[in-house]
Amino acid sequence: MFGVKIFYIFIPLLNCGFMLARTNENEDFVMSQDDSYNGKTKFIFITGGVLSGLGKGIAAASIGSLLSRFKVVPVKCDGYLNIDPGTMNPIEHGEVFVLDDGGEVDMDFGHYERFLNIKGKKEWSLTMGKVFDTLLKSEREGKYAGKTVQFIPHVTDVIKNHFFKIADNENADILLVEIGGTVGDLENEFFIEAARQLFHIVGSENCLFAHLTYIPIPKGTKEQKSKPTQMSIHDLNERGIYPDVIIGRCEEMLTQKIKEKIALYGNIPTKNVISEIDVDSVYEIPIGFQEEGMLDIVLKKLRITMPSVANQEMDDWKRLVDVCKQNNKNPRKTLNIAICGKYTQLEDSYASIHEALKHAAAHLNVKCKFEMIDTEKTDTIEEIKVQLAKVDAVIVPGGFGSRGIEGKILVVQVARELKIPFLGICYGMQLAVVEFARNKCGIKGANTAEVSADGIDVKDAIIDILPGKRGLPLGDTLRKGGQDVFLKSGSLAAKIYGAELIRERFRHRYEVNHDYVKRIEEHGLVFSGRSVKEENIMQMMEIPEHPFFVGCQFHPELTSTLLKPSPLFYNLLKMAEVRFDYRLEELHILDAKNLR
């Protein structure tokens, strides 16, 4: 243990010393970095301390939202060695967020897009795996001209050059860089060192460091404690970074006393210590930051002036946040929404679905309560009927593999037969088609070819792998990103979207088998959305005789925002409200009978 501690203490010192040595040895190295800076872009770095999961992504997105009248470009740095999170289990790292350009990125990009009203790009995601991949390819191609390739300066060069390239390509006013993990983690050391070097290149007036830490309130003392934050700031200072803003995550607003103590230790004005309290809705955070003076701090430090024009979007944002707060305290109606999948152990696995439901709920002035149903543990249809008896809508989300799918198919069957509003997303749509084929078309062996990889014999592959994807490496088989969808005229889908041509985001490698489409439609299921290309993929389905039974091959949750909720989630909740009223009426009838 002592050896490990010594290692952590000396890494920053060695890094700094080595940088000085490299600068003296090769002076044109620093000059080349100066040349790559466009002289316009301001940089904001967000780091985290004490523990992970404090909400750096939300803090970064909230700061960015206050600067929305500038061109703000978010960048996320992750220390893991995966090229991207595309092959990672959602239970391991939360959901994989898919961008319009097909990039598979960290779930924090969901916050960036929802708060900043932007479309992210895959280049804005930088993992250590991607850094090393770039470095090693350059070395093999001889781009280092025979030099010894080292962590410093070459790894940090790759990182800094990536930042400068994004800033230049996007003509960004502000590059908002979130460094994942916690200060002290071995994985993010080179991102932090690159940020330190960049600060010296662009100058103090062009760079701001915000550090998010945790302020605990131990039960025994019931007093806010600053010691973990002091140690975290100390760790950051050791790495040559001195934060301009310290954000304290706490159960309650930071006291003036604790702010003064943190400010003294962090060598910053007391007003630069900002509270980030636990809230019912993350959409309250930008408002809290604004009230705490975050915007003024950023503008002053970066020497920029905010255009003085009316911000209607912020007014609408505050109005919807007020609706959410009111419904959390005294809800007009609380709709029970069942999310039925196999990644229920970690709520972040379905983060964007939760957010999309909250967006729709705010516009309908209702509250959503989530019932997480683990389909691996649902064995019988009777059990599922009991679980769904008190819900107002059912969502079967995306997923992969054979685990838990029979439970999902039973959930689909109960929702269809009991007329519960239903939305099947990606794999959820595919399994809805399988269920319909089994129980309405009489194709008892109906299944998805996806389960054959686990040794399950598939007699009728109602769902089969996409053309051209068979035999490819796992990471290359997905059809990803934004695609156009043609909606059938007069269909429920066309009415929901108010259009016959839409664009949504996809992430799948299987599709509805064309050989079964006609037979399935003859029994009453309608494929109301198809790809506009020659591939003719079934991209939406519905059952007209059902109040709301819709499946989509795409992920509508990825494009939903607080100001503009997804039409599918909005209309699902509208029908859930109808079922809520019906269930309430039934309960009143039962109560009346009991009274008599």
Residues annotated catalytic, as ranges: 426, 555, 557
* Closest listed residue to residue 538, CA positions, set 546, 547, 529: 529
Helix (H), strand (E) counts: the chain:
20, 21
- Looking only at the bridges linking them, the beta strands covering 72-78 and 125-127 are parallel
* Closest listed residue to residue 489, CA positions, set 475, 502, 499: 499
Alpha-helix runs per DSSP H in 43-155:
56-66, 90-93, 108-116, 128-140
* Closest listed residue to residue 527, CA positions, set 543, 511, 513, 515: 543
- Looking only at the bridges linking them, the beta strands covering 334-341 and 393-396 are parallel
- Looking only at the bridges linking them, the beta strands covering 245-250 and 273-277 are parallel
List, in order, residues 6 or more apart from 359 with CB less than 8 Å away: 560, 561, 562, 564, 565, 566, 569, 570
* Closest listed residue to residue 230, CA positions, set 265, 205, 194: 265
Q: How far are the Cα atoms of 39, 145, 198, 207 from residue 36, in angstroms, in the given order? A: 9, 20, 11, 16
CA angle at 463 for the pair 461 and 469, rounded to the nearest 5°: 105
| Contact status, residue 122 vs residue 109, Cβ threshold 8 Å | no
Question: What is the C-alpha separation between 426 and 428, in angstroms, rounded?
Answer: 5
